[in-house]
Amino acid sequence: MKKNIALLAGGYSGEYTISIKTAHTIEQHLDEQLYNTYKIIITRDGWWYTAADNTQIAIDKNDFSLPLPDGRVVFDAVFIAIHGTPGEDGRIQGYLDMLQIPYTSCNAIVSALTFNKSYCNKVVKALDIVNIANSVHLIKGESFSMGAILDTLRLPVFVKPNESGSSLGVSKVKKVEDLLPAIDKAFSEDKQVLIEEFIEGRELTIGVYKIDGILHTLPATEIVSNNEFFDYEAKYTPGVTSEITPANISSTIKQQLEKKAEYIYRHLNCRGVVRMDFILQQPSNKLYFLEVNTMPGQSENSIVPQQVRAAGMDLKEFYGALLADTLRIGCNF
């Protein structure tokens, strides 16, 4: 019997549009012979399924069911395709855990931890497996000293919202006079700000996933941006960035990258597919950890789909394996 799958898209953040594109890619590659897929758009105004006649039907949040005219749909699993809040920060995951409905991503605790860049960096640093850039964590409403920041960190630095994706609100600061405006810009996106020392080097990113208890890494990608850094424009404007998959790196660096990414995945207790970003410092060839993306972008030309194809798989096979594993394991707690 075909399984009923809820595909969640949208969300409350500036990454709404990217989420819609990710969900479209996933929907196009889920096997119609195996799954009845219902795309649910989540906004602050409601959670809606759009029927074939364009009628919008609200999800019953009491049990996350879909009351269609010809019968109520109860979901066997949820494929989460929301970037940012509430689909990447643990909120949806906690709700689904309470209802005992399995889903494809990391659980609520892991999602919340990895979404907070500063807290995640502290945990990964404690693993003592990879280098972490020096940083300062600011919280809105609490006083901070520009002098203390500059005593702790060397320019240039990145100033970024602590809980945000797609490089929204991120600035690269080279001059002291630009630091406060960059902090204000980041605070316009989030109530917490992370200021992080710039590490000169090559940006590498790698997908990691687990199927049937076996951990896999995808071929790594090198990101070469024509902009100052891999900002929102560079991520989503064709031609601004070169994404080289597989990355042109030595076998030694490749093995180190895969080993460290797998170690972090295991020790953070990740689930589903995640993408980890690193900097390969030049000329030392030391790897620095940047972040874990528990809901990486997956529009047709995004990095994870590129890596899946480079690994010799198609997206139908890949998403099918992730979903089958979710259904096999069941609830995430």
Residue 286 pLDDT > 50: yes
For the CA atoms of 106, 8, 242, 244, what is the dihedral angle to 10 degrees?
50
Is 143 domain-assigned? yes
Residue type, 150: L
Bond from prior residue into 102 cis (ω within 30 degrees of 0): no
How many of the other CB atoms lie within 10 Å of CB of 75? Answer: 24
Is 192 domain-assigned? yes
Both tokens of residue 127? 């693993």
CB 187 within 8 A of CB 140: yes
The residue that leads in pLDDT, 301 or 183, is 183
pLDDT at 16: 93
Residue-wise DSSP of 226-294: SSSSS-HHHHHSTTSEEEESS----HHHHHHHHHHHHHHHHHTT--S-EEEEEEEETTT--EEEEEEES
Is 252 domain-assigned? yes
Q: How many domains does the chain have?
A: 3
The CATH number assigned to the domain holding 154 equals 3.30.1490.20
Residue 133 pLDDT > 90: yes
Does 257 lie in the same domain as 126? yes
pLDDT at 228: 61
Is 210 domain-assigned? yes
pLDDT at 52: 87
Residue 213 pLDDT > 50: yes
Does 248 lie in the same domain as 124? yes
The residue among 197, 232, 250 that closes a domain is: 197
Q: Rounded to a whole number, what is the largest CA-CA distance in the chain? A: 66
For the CA atoms of 157, 161, 166, 172, what is the dihedral angle to 10 degrees?
-20
Q: How far is residue 153 from each of residues 138, 148, 313, measured CA to CA in Å?
A: 14, 9, 43
Whole-angstrom distance, CA of residue 41 vs CA of residue 128: 40
- HSE of 193 in the Cβ direction (CA atoms, 13 Å)? 27
Is 332 domain-assigned? no
The residue among 152, 180, 197 that closes a domain is: 197
Q: Poorest-confidence range of 145-154, 166-175, 313-322?
A: 166-175
Does 172 lie in the same domain as 245? no
pLDDT at 331: 62
Nearest to 303 by CA among 211, 228, 220: 220
Residue 315 pLDDT > 90: yes
Is 320 exposed, middle or buried, given 0-12, 13-18 or 19+ CB atoms closer than 10 A?
middle
Does 215 lie in the same domain as 293? yes
Percentage, residues of the chain above pLDDT 90: 86
Digit-coded pLDDT (tens) for 218-269: 999 999 977 565 444 444 455 667 899 999 999 999 999 999 999 999 999 9
Whole-angstrom distance, CA of residue 247 vs CA of residue 91: 34
The residue that leads in pLDDT, 236 or 176, is 176
Strands 241-244 and 71-74: unpaired
Does 211 lie in the same domain as 91? no
pLDDT at 190: 87
The residue among 197, 228, 250 that closes a domain is: 197
Does 163 lie in the same domain as 24? no
Is 297 domain-assigned? yes
Does 185 lie in the same domain as 38? no
Does 268 lie in the same domain as 126? yes
The CATH number assigned to the domain holding 46 equals 3.40.50.20
Does 219 lie in the same domain as 168? no
Does 317 lie in the same domain as 230? yes
Is 64 domain-assigned? yes
Mean pLDDT, range 42-54, rounded to an integer: 94
Whole-angstrom distance, CA of residue 94 vs CA of residue 126: 26
CB 298 within 8 A of CB 62: no
Is 333 domain-assigned? no
Mean pLDDT, range 54-76, rounded to an integer: 96
Whole-angstrom distance, CA of residue 3 vs CA of residue 152: 54
Does 291 lie in the same domain as 193? no
The residue that leads in pLDDT, 13 or 93, is 93
CA angle, corner 25, sides to 313 and 224, nearest 5? 75
Q: Left, alpha or beta for 172 (phi > 0: left; psi -120 to 50: alpha)?
A: beta
Residue 49: pLDDT band with limits 50, 70, 90: very high
Does 180 lie in the same domain as 152? yes
Q: Any residues with CB less than 8 A from the CB of 280 and at least 6 apart, and which?
A: 201, 202, 203, 204, 249, 253, 286, 287, 288
Nearest to 321 by CA among 219, 214, 245: 214
Strands 77-80 and 71-74: unpaired
**Which residue carries 């009923």 as its tokens?**
4
For residue 143, the enclosing domain spans: 135-197
Residue 316 pLDDT > 60: yes
CB 247 within 8 A of CB 204: yes
The CATH number assigned to the domain holding 118 equals 3.30.470.20
CA 158 to chain centre: 19
